[in-house]
Structure 1
Amino acid sequence: MLLAGFGFARVWLTVWLACAWSSEAREQETVPPAAPTVSSPRPSRFGNRCDVTATVTATTACRTCPLNAEVECPKGSTKTTQGEGLRDCQYRIPVFGSWGIVLTGCHHVCARQVLQPQCCPGYWGPDCQECPGGADNPCSGHGACAGGIQGNGTCTCEGGFGGVACETCKSDKLYGPECSGECTCVHGICKSGLEGDGSCSCLSGYSGEHCDQPLPQCDALDCNQFGRCVEPAEGEELVCRCLPGYHGDGKNSCLPIDPCLEAVCAPQADCIHTGPNQHRCECRPSYSGDGRVCLPIDPCQTNFGGCPTNSTVCVYDAPGKVYTRGVDPASVGKIGQAPVQALAAPDS
């Protein structure tokens, strides 16, 4: 009697599995689909954009191999596998509640062409703005620009270079075309910067290459309060000359130099006179930078300019100004987005 009961149960389970095997609705994938892969980029120049057309692949759901032979890829995709497809996945047939049977199955690989937005070299952000220093010479050739659609246009300067576009030395103590020289003036002012040679202009009462040799005879010269006592050359008579930042004869007159009378700032910046031969450059509204380099602010580059991404497009109009343009919500996200999950087979 017990053996007969086991025999009946075995027959019932066999019949049930046969029905479940042919039921497409009960098949479920148990292995995550393969991540999409991108290959064969082909650039297409449009303005500052260099979009690429790429092949993106994904897989259909895992199922019994005999039934998988009839599965087609979604519209717009091409099936790259033949016959029953690849036999390298598993699917689960539920039996009792949470219990189930895991079986080896097949799936197909589907491929489609997508357009991936990319900025051309030397441009950054959703609107592909020029990197500081210009697209042809990003970061003045002395650094790397965080370019690309996801970049923020920031320059990472090399060695001793600094500034928004790596256009100057990062310290007043550095000089030379590579900003590799270091000033050694003890009691003087160094000629620093890219155009500097590291030479010292000694303060009153000192001489020497490094302005480290005192001149006690200077007390009798009575130079201007903004002047200094210097020795033009070793052994020559001491004379009065104006301090750096002033101009005049050094004894009777020393007037402050206003660097803002010259074009020392970017065209989009204001020059503020802060002292004798000293100034500060400040970019005007709608521009950002250090005053020597001022870049137009494009609000669309950050958070799409506050525009609703599902109904409008942010369009750059002028520095600090944008306008919105309506779009078809059904088209949002269709370009440049690769699938991140398995492609479902079309309904039969």
Structure 2
Amino acid sequence: MSASDGTQQPMTIKLEKLVWRLRSPDEFFPQRQEEEAEEHPLHKSYCTGGTVLGEEGTFIAIKKRSTVSINALVYRLAVGMTGSQTAASQYIGELAATAWERDLERAVKLYNLICQAEAGYILDELVPKQLKASASVGQTVETAVLRSACTWLGINPDTPLKRQRGRPRKRTRNEHGDATSAGEVIELTLQPDGSVTGRLIASFQGLSQNTNLASLTLTKLAEILVALRDAQLVDDADLLEAYLEAVDADWRAKIAEEIGVEDNSTPTSPWAVLGLTPGASLEEVKQAYRKIMRTVHPDTSGPPQWYAQTVNDAYRQLLEELTDD
């Protein structure tokens, strides 16, 4: 910057940094008596809907009712895991109470850290990451429910992903000029007449490389589909599902029929629905249920609604019988 006498003067730039500081007590304790809470000289706005329990050190304890908002699908998962809406609500409430308690502990630690600062404040960059709120109570509860749902379905929620997200599926043309699409295990080829053929391009589940998918039964293909999902081979699972849709649009219903569910009106033994013989253990019942639900995969086009309901009803019935024992 040039001064009026032509000399050069340094230009001063003021940089603002985010800091943490304690708010003034005047913001919490009103000046006029009519603004005080009935049971404590605290501003009414901080006591609305709650009751002051007393003082704990430098804190004022207030008991208040609160709510937690979660996604409707997450709530349905909780209902499925616990067996009823009442049990699901209680489960979610316990998760929320724990989340609030931990968040209060985090806030107290942050408060003490600021109190120890000689300047009366602390730079945001010096505050440990674990002392900053990273998620709302609702998000924390949703994460807890989803992790439990993974375990319930036989999936380790901490399993590292084996493939990069967005990895493109290989699309080429064979020696005849036909379009092909391949993952790591499955390869599909679109024939000139519009039909689809498929083969294994790698050994998998005891089957050798170059096995023709047309030579396998629906049940075997469904078993391969489950194994591909368990191995996190998403592209291959999608390819196999596309092949099943191309060769038999009713493949899900036919698999359901093969395991003993013929229609939605004929009473069927819950053991038969899950493909088990009476006397199977509780763990065997859980494994059979998880396998069926992964096979039909409701996140895609899904099984017939009556079939999914039949499987769920059979599972709950056997759970009650075996748990009572």
For the criterion TM > 0.5, the same-fold answer is no
Give the alignment's TM-score, normalised by structure 1. Answer: 0.22
Q: Which has the higher strand share?
A: 1
Larger radius of gyration: 1
Higher relative contact order (CA 8 A, sep 6+): 1
Give the alignment's TM-score, normalised by structure 2. Answer: 0.23
Q: Which has the higher helix share?
A: 2
